[in-house]
Amino acid sequence: MQHGFIKVGAAVPLVSVADPTYNVEQLIALAHRAHEEGAEVTVFPELCITGYTCGDLFTQQTLLQESEAAIARFAEATKVYDTLYIIGAPIYVCGALYNCALVLQQGRILGIVPKCYIPNYGEFNERRWFSTGYNLRMEDNICYAGQSVHIGSYQIFHTGRYAFGVEICEDLWSVTPPSSALALQGAEIIFNLSASDEVTGKHDYLRSLLKQQSARSMAGYVYTSSGYGESTTDLVFAGKAFVAENGAILAEGERFCFDAQLICSEIDLDKLRMERRGNTTFATAQADLYPKATHIHTAPVTERESVLTRHFAQLPFVPQGAELDSHCNEVFNIQSVALAKRLTHIHCSKVVIGISGGLDSTLALLATVRTFDRLQLPRTGIIGVTMPGFGTTDRTYQNALDLMSHLGVSLREISIKDACIQHFKDIEHDIDVHDTTYENSQARERTQLLMDVANRENAIVIGTGDLSELALGWATYNGDHMSMYGMNAGIPKTLVRHLVQWEAEHSYNAEVRSILLDIVNTPISPELIPAKADGTIKQKTEDLVGPYELHDFFIYHFLRSGYRPKKIYYLACLTFEGQYDAAIIKKWLTTFFRRFFQQQFKRSCLPDGPKVGSVSLSPRGDWRMPSDASAASWLAECEAL
């Protein structure tokens, strides 16, 4: 696939215990299917060629010979494919039996990886039959299924575009999983062949373990486990299959299914590599602490045209479902604790906030109210200042007044019209020319008023600008760009809307809720241009700089994932299909990159403010960029879309 995606598969075949002839035909059928679906690497369960529950039959020469013959049959049947397959089989070497994974491509066995950690508990005490491969370091290849093959633990397979490693079942559950060592030595995807029995509660623990290990290793993790057909004499095998990536489950199979299964998804190598490049602890851990891996090079794997099956959220900063509740509450807690620390540190019990009746100032006010309540300070110490100007509409003006009144904060109204008219005269600007000077003069006048009121009241000014505005530079330098503490600096616009709505529905009575929901539904605007004749908003931000849902999508995948413009464009076209056409997405993507680079100087001198999510533009934290960096490469790629 293109754009850094690698399609992988996790297969759960039907099994007949101790019948390699039957089992290999099941594997071949799934191998063909995986190739047709575009999977570049597909993993099968532990000991799938024989079945995991053979017991003492593993010591029988007949079973071992039939297993070897079945592997040869599989190699012959798949030799026309450059797809890679990983299958499990018992292999007898130098007087010991090993539980192994075999990596095959184009009819060749590229390597055999024995299981390192052999469990000695439960109904299947594997140490009764299998030896640990942890210390197996054979200098010479072995002959298996008619081929000369390297066998040894800790192998990394390189395809030319990515590298992967293999571990088996219990290896993942150990204190130091082989996958950790493999990841530190270059493996970007880990494949796990497993035969994990089903007991109550184990499935949830396994999901958590897979998420944790993929996150810790900053890797893709593909897991499959034995399913229907394994012996139920003492245990049940439910046929689990997962594709995980850096802490998230991308795809999951159906447990307790009576049919063979194949799940596929796409591992995002670009994002994984971005994570590893930016995480110095990963590089530090690459010290000589683990067994050295053997590196094996595969034949090139053909990039196949395939439909992207994984889902990318339109609102990547906004969780869905039940998670939204806990997320919103967490954001408000972060904001309130951050402001509480600042106030107690400077021995301050008053703040000043400019209240416009828009989303950002509303969120800052709600978070500040929470803070004052937690500190047991009177809400009257919150001085809300509404500053109507030439573009203020009745709707936002009234909402601002009503909200402050119902919340019990101190309310002040200071018109900026006369001051701005005098200012226009002083600088000889025509008041009828509604240009940048006209707009920014109003923004700076408001900031000056807030700062001076704060000085007079021995208070601090709370900033209201959000992350999306900072990314686009949609702020007046030394106007709304400046404050004494930026409460919303780490919160993107799409999340601001959900936070205000969530607080309305969870924390306030019907009267306040009605005001807040009307604010949520008000078009986003700085209201610096006179309203229409009917009194409605004329200057709509999203008409000028583009839809915030698109820009937040761009921000997330540029800053969090490190994607280049053509990949962001590709994902946006898929994700917003039917909402925005390709030309519109290209237009606003170009706008995003142009403004992001041009406006860095505003972010280079941001006031303090709390980091809330995984993306921050603080010049002291996550994003350190010269103000005069060139956007030429990014804009050239946008132009070529």
C-alpha to C-alpha distance for 88 and 168, rounded to whole angstroms: 9
Flag whether 316 is in a domain.
no
Asked if 566 is an active-site residue, the reply is no
pLDDT of residue 289: 63
Q: Give phi and psi for 476, each to the nearest 5.
A: -80, 120
User: 3-class DSSP state for residue 129?
Assistant: coil
Catalytic residue among 169, 264, 328, 638: 169
One domain, residues 406 and 288: no
Q: Find the helix or strand (DSSP H, E) in which 114 lies.
A: strand 108-114
Beta-bridge mates of residue 167: 192
DSSP 56: G
Question: What are the backbone angles phi and psi of residue 494, rounded to the nearest 5°?
Answer: -65, -30
Active site residue 46: yes
* 403 contacts: CB under 8 Å, gap ≥ 6: 355, 357, 362, 365, 512, 515, 516, 519
Judge if 282 and 360 occupy the same domain. no
Q: Is residue 317 part of a domain?
A: no
pLDDT value, residue 540: 82
* Domain membership of residue 452 as a residue range: 322-639
Inside any domain, residue 287: yes
Q: What is the pLDDT of residue 71?
A: 98
Strands 155-158 and 147-149 come out as unpaired
pLDDT digits (tens, 9 = 90+) for 78-131: 999 999 999 999 999 989 999 999 999 999 999 999 999 999 876 678 999 999
Same domain for 542 and 610, yes or no, is yes
Q: Give the domain CATH number at 38.
A: 3.60.110.10
Tell me, yes or no, whether 262 and 330 share the same domain.
Answer: no
For residues 259 and 405, membership in a common domain is answered with no
Q: Which of 115, 350, 538, 586 is catalytic?
A: 115
> Any catalytic annotation for residue 169?
yes
- Range list of β-strands (E), 174-253: 189-194, 220-225, 241-245, 248-252
- Measured between alpha carbons, how far is residue 425 from residues 85, 445, 448 in Å? 77, 14, 18
- Which candidate in 25, 40, 46, 230 is catalytic? 46
Q: How far is CA 437 from the centre of its chain?
A: 40
**What residues are paired with 98 via a beta bridge?**
91
Residues 273 and 356 in one domain: no
Residue 363 lies in a domain: yes
Rg (CA), the chain: 30
The residue ranges of the chain whose pLDDT is under 70 are 122-123, 287-290
How far, in Å, CA of 182 to CA of 290, rounded? 9
CATH number at residue 446: 3.40.50.620
Whether 119 and 242 map to the same domain: the answer is yes
253: its two tokens: 């199979």
Tokens of 132: 């640990």
CB-side neighbour CA atoms (13 Å) of 237: 29
Q: Are 364 and 462 in contact (CB under 8 A)?
A: yes
Both 567 and 477 in one domain: the answer is: yes
Q: Per-residue pLDDT tens for 7-63?
A: 999 999 999 999 999 999 999 999 999 999 999 999 999 999 999 999 999 999 999
Q: Per the structure, how many domains does the chain have?
A: 2
Residue 183 host element (H or E): helix 178-184
Query: Phi-psi region for residue 4, left (φ > 0), alpha (ψ -120 to 50) or beta?
Result: left
Helix H segments across 458-558? Answer: 467-472, 493-507, 510-520, 541-545, 548-555
Q: Select from 185, 255, 167, 179 the least CA-distant residue to 213.
A: 179
Distance CA 156, CA 39 (A): 19
CA dist., res. 318 & res. 324, Å (int)? 7
pTM for this model (two decimals): 0.90
Assess if residue 286 is contained within a domain. Answer: yes
- pLDDT value for 121: 74
Q: Does residue 311 lie within any of the structural domains?
A: no
Q: Which residues pair with 228 in a beta bridge?
A: 230
Cβ 70 vs Cβ 249: under 8 Å: no
pLDDT at 539 (0 to 100):
80
Tell the residue number behind the tokens 């800790």, with chain if given.
154
